[in-house]
Amino acid sequence: MRNFTNGIGRRNISRGILFLWVVLTIGFCLATYSLTTFLLIRIQSTRISDHGSGRSDPVMEMPETRKLARGSNPKFHVVVTATDAIYSKWQCRIMYYWYKKVKDLPGSGMGGFTRVLHSGRSDNLMEEIPTFVVDPLPNGLDRGYVVLNRPWAFVQWLEKATIEEKYVLMAEPDHLFVRPLPNLAVGKYPVAFPFFYIKPAENEKIVRKFYPKGSISNVDPIGNSPVIIRKSILKKIAPTWMNVSLRIKNDTEADTTFGWVQEMYAYAIASALHGVKHILHKEFMVQPPWDQKLGDTYIIHYTYGCDYNMKGELTYGKIGEWRFDKRTYLSNPPPKNLTLPPPGIPETVVRLVTMVNEATANIPGWENL
């Protein structure tokens, strides 16, 4: 009886020790897991804070924390592609005037400037604007859509030119710098302006012809300009951007649906094919007359015509009593001292015309194109 009782006692003690060991082990694991989780969260938070993004998803609006961290970013090279047509020349001259005006102001991340001229030959602006001449696409390949030369121009420029800056701003001739532009990119993440009319999800059936795998959300609602991007990343994207542009142009459905923005879709798709996501910065630029307030913007993009009656009412689609439309000046540059808008016109339009007038008044030999 004693032996039987003692056996039970020993087994009970052993079970008790085993139970205590299990409890202590589980408790230790839970504590370790909690501590590890806490540390990972802190590390991730630190990384996010260091990037200044405010969260791990790179596709977002630009938060205040990023604005405070701009000063340490490397400078970027400003590059614009152009033709030797008068229409392109006068826009480039005005753009370059405002680049020089703001380049060295406090807060600027702007480095050098290059006009990539894809006419295959020099023109009369070579001494006025830093220019790199590249070849156009072979005759007939653009099928009348001259913008297709843009990605091909970038491919050549990136291969042949010496560019000191690590980042590049892809801009356009009809961009005016309202204030100094800092480097808004965050490490490997480029920054771009989101266009309301670039809608990959709504056009998924067509986009899938060129981006068959991966989430459609990987295709950002952007064009190639304005974009600030690492030069090394752009060099990888550019050949794909060119090839996708040509494929879209040769696809009847895509060509018809995307129309004049097809090369913008091509850049967004090419970026997705390379796994590149962009920070979406809504304050990158404004587009009058639709954007009426300047806010904290950096660029005015004057791609749309601005038509108003003398009461200050927009008459878009109908030539206004007062108007500014760059397409009015296809064959000749705009005259000096354009008439200012009537009272009640949005500040973006007023600033646009004021900036054009200042540039034309100060650029030597303005009429000589």
Condensed to tens digits (0 to 9), the pLDDT of residues 140-191 reads: 898 889 999 999 999 999 999 999 999 999 999 999 999 999 999 999 999 9
Q: For 60-66, what is the mean pLDDT?
A: 46
Tens-place pLDDT, residues 236-284: 999 999 999 999 999 999 999 999 999 999 999 999 999 999 999 999 9
Amino acid at 119: S
pLDDT for 52 beyond 50: no
Give the β-pairing of 322-324 and 76-82.
Answer: unpaired
**Which among 62, 71, 65 has a CA at the least distance from the CA of 50?**
65
CA atoms within 13 A on the CB side of 94: 31
Whether the CB-CB separation of 245 and 210 falls below 8 Å is answered with no
Axis crossing angle, helix 231-249 with helix 262-273, rounded to the nearest 10: 130
Are 155 and 242 contacting, i.e. CB atoms less than 8 angstroms apart? yes
pLDDT band per the 50, 70, 90 thresholds, residue 28: very low
CA–CA distance, 150 with 263 (Å, rounded to integer): 9
Q: Is the pLDDT of residue 110 over 50?
A: yes
Count other Cβ atoms within 10 Å, centred on residue 253: 11
Q: Which of 170, 174, 177, 172 is nearest to 294 (CA)?
A: 177
CB 268 within 8 A of CB 248: no
H/E stretch holding 98:
helix 86-102
Q: Which residue has the tokens 């009272």?
A: 343
Residue in 183, 288, 289, 276 with CA at minimum distance from that of residue 226: 183
Find the range with the poorest average confidence among 12-16, 102-106, 171-175, 295-299: 12-16
- Position 72 scores a pLDDT of 59
pLDDT at 43: 27
Summarize the confidence of residues 100-113 as an average pLDDT. 98
Euclidean distance between CA atoms 277 and 274, whole angstroms? 9
Q: Which of 5-9, 52-56, 101-105, 321-325 has the lowest mean pLDDT?
A: 52-56
37/159: higher pLDDT? 159
Give, as one character, the DSSP assignment of residue 189: B
Measured CA distances, 56 to 52, 69, 145, 186, 341 (Å): 10, 16, 39, 12, 44
- Predicted local confidence at residue 264, as pLDDT: 98
